[in-house]
Chain A
Amino acid sequence: MLVQYGLHEMSIAASVLDALRTEAQSHPGARVTRAGLRIGELSGVEPESLRFCLEALVSGTDLEPLAFDLEICPWMRRCRGCGAEFRVVEANPLCTACGSADTEAAGGDQMELSYLELEEP
């Protein structure tokens, strides 16, 4: 059961550690030394705030030392006309290749555990 915190990055960080412990169970005896996270620009999560919360929650526990690698995933759209995928800059949804306004969401809301680095006993 997760504790709830006022800062939602703290709740998210607790979910990250929960997910990490669950995944680590498939490798009995190994210890996790590094965890990779993918955080989208549209995820609603502030990466540095998340890092602060992760480090605070890990500190003084059996998970320490544990390093976090945060990969920021850009806000992307795809053009329904020419098919180009492009990064959205300054919230401009127009296709950067052909200028079309007919575009659709194509990523940027990721919040994923992308890898674990394990040290076998």
Chain B
Amino acid sequence: MRVPLERKVLNENDRIADGLRQRFQSQGTFCLNLISSPGSGKTSLLERTLGHFDRSRRAAVLTGDIQTDNDARRLARYGFPVRQITTGGACHLDARMVERALADWDAGELDVLFLENVGNLVCPTSYDLGEDARTVVLSVTEGEDKPLKYPATFHHADLMVLNKIDLLPYVPFQPTLACEYARRVQPEIEILEVSCTTGEGLDRWFDWLDRRL
């Protein structure tokens, strides 16, 4: 006997993510999921962002890594609530990890919650974390064709931050090509070119955030 179904494999994750999304919306919290390869600059972008924020801004970060709390310690210096999720092997954050991390954490009412995913351009893609928007960080020391190699990740992103543009004179990376590939995969994607080292382009990133807070 064949029983037809239409059951989402990750419906348990999606159910938890929907609950988180409702909670964020009712509290007026903008939640951003940051995804990239290891070393593209997610933590540097967050350091720049927290460093730029006025202390009255209600911001917090949940940062995911397979091991160590190095990123949380880097980010904690800016005086905002930061918590490390150590996945102990898992290559992505899932909604339950976020829910658990929030359950016993009194970060107060938030304007913005950053979810820094585990550095990985494949696995985090499938997991809704209840975020309002998804940002993929690409850096110029990688290949321009990453959007074509990892279309699922770029297809689900609202914003691509192209980081390390201060290194463009020293690497063969062609930004126009990277942007063209990203727009082929996701025609609506917004793209910002920045350097977290020199600060170039970060004003546009801060504007992008401000429009959502």
Contact among B1, B7, B153 for A117, CB-based, below 8 A: B1
Partner of B91, one of A6, A91, A119: A6
Report how many A-B pairs have Cβ atoms within 8 Å. Answer: 103
Return A104 CB to nearest CB of chain B, in Å.
Answer: 9
Contact residues of B between 1 and 28, Cβ < 8 Å to A: 1-13
Q: Which residues of A have CB within 8 Å of B6?
A: 112, 114
B38 CB, nearest partner CB in chain A, Å: 14
Chain B residues with CB below 8 A from A12, complex form = 9-10, 126
A107-121 contacts to B, CB under 8 A, are 109, 111-120
Q: Is B33 an interface residue (CB 8 A)?
A: no
B88 at the interface (CB under 8 A from A): yes
Give, as a whole number of angstroms, the nearest-CB distance from B122 to chain A.
Answer: 6
Is B148 engaged at the interface, CB distance under 8 Å to the other chain? yes
Q: Which residues of B contact A4 (CB under 8 A)?
A: 87-90, 94
Most buried by B among A91, A105, A109: A91
A113: chain B residues within 8 A (beta carbon): 5, 7-9
Contacts of B107 in A (CB 8 A): none
Evaluate contact between A114 and B3: CB separation under 8 angstroms: no
Asked if B4 contacts A115 (CB within 8 A), the reply is yes
A15 at the interface (CB under 8 A from B): yes
- Chain B, interface size: which category? 35 or more
Question: How far does the Cβ of B190 sit from chain A's closest Cβ, in whole Å?
Answer: 16
Contact digits for A26-52, partner B, Cβ 8 Å, 1 yes 0 no = 010010000001000111110000000
Kindly state whether residue A101 has any CB partner on chain B within 8 Å. yes
Partner among A16, A42, A109, A115 whose Cβ is within 8 Å of the Cβ of B3: A115
Chain A nearest CB: distance from B174 CB in Å?
Answer: 17
Determine whether the beta carbon of B187 is less than 8 Å from that of A8. no
- Interface flags, A81-121, vs B, CB<8A=1, else 0: 00000000011110000000101010001011111111110
Q: Is A64 an interface residue when CB atoms closer than 8 A count as contact?
A: no
B10 to chain A, nearest CB (A): 6
Contacts of B156 in A (CB 8 A): 42, 109
Determine the chain A residues whose CB is within 8 A of the CB of B94 once the complex forms. Answer: 4, 11
Chain A 1-12, CB-CB to B under 8 Å as 1, else 0, gives 000111110011
Q: Identify which of A19, A41, A103, A117 contacts B9 (C-beta below 8 A).
A: A19
Distance between Cα atoms of A41 and B152 in the complex (Å): 8
- B15 nearest CB across to chain A (Å): 12
- The verdict on A75 contacting B12 (CB below 8 Å), with A4-B87, A6-B89, A114-B4 known, is no
Which B residues are in CB contact (< 8 Å) with A41?
A: 151-152
Q: Among A19, A43, A91, which residue has its beta carbon within 8 angstroms of that of B126?
A: A43
Given A42-B155, A43-B152, A91-B181, A37:B122 Cβ within 8 A: no
Q: Answer yes or no: B63 CB below 8 A from chain A CBs.
A: no
Bound-state CA distance A62–B9 (Å) is 20
Q: A42-B155, A112-B8 are in contact. List 4 more A-B contacts (CB 8 A).
A: A23-B7, A103-B187, A114-B5, A115-B3
